[in-house]
Amino acid sequence: MLFALWCTDKKDHLQVRMDTRPTHVEWLNSINAEGKLKMAGPTLNAEGKPMGSLVVIVADDADAAAALAAQDPYAKAGLFETVEIRPFNWVFNNPEA
């Protein structure tokens, strides 16, 4: 089952994002190698600067998705103001469809 993690950064935490990015990318690569990552990238503000993340993962259920989301180095660093976890149905442009 797919889940979308819609993460919104705390205000004025861009430096936390930049400092934590290398370990965040390592984590994304590790869950990708496990077949748990479908897509990911930053969401941007009006100035084109990162202000959150959208990560689509594979998990058995919402609890497993939340447990995986909690492992994100960005989450551990306290970057996110909110993290919404929603079931996701990838209909258009899904390379596996």
Query: What one-character DSSP code corresponds to residue 48?
Result: S
pLDDT (tens digit per residue) in 52-94: 999 999 999 999 999 999 999 999 999 999 999 999 999 999 8
2-88 architecture in CATH? Answer: 2-Layer Sandwich (3.30)
- pTM for the whole thing? 0.94
What average pLDDT score do residues 29-34 get?
98
Helix (H) or strand (E) run with residue 43 in it: strand 37-44
Going from N- to C-terminal start, the domains of the chain cover: 2-88
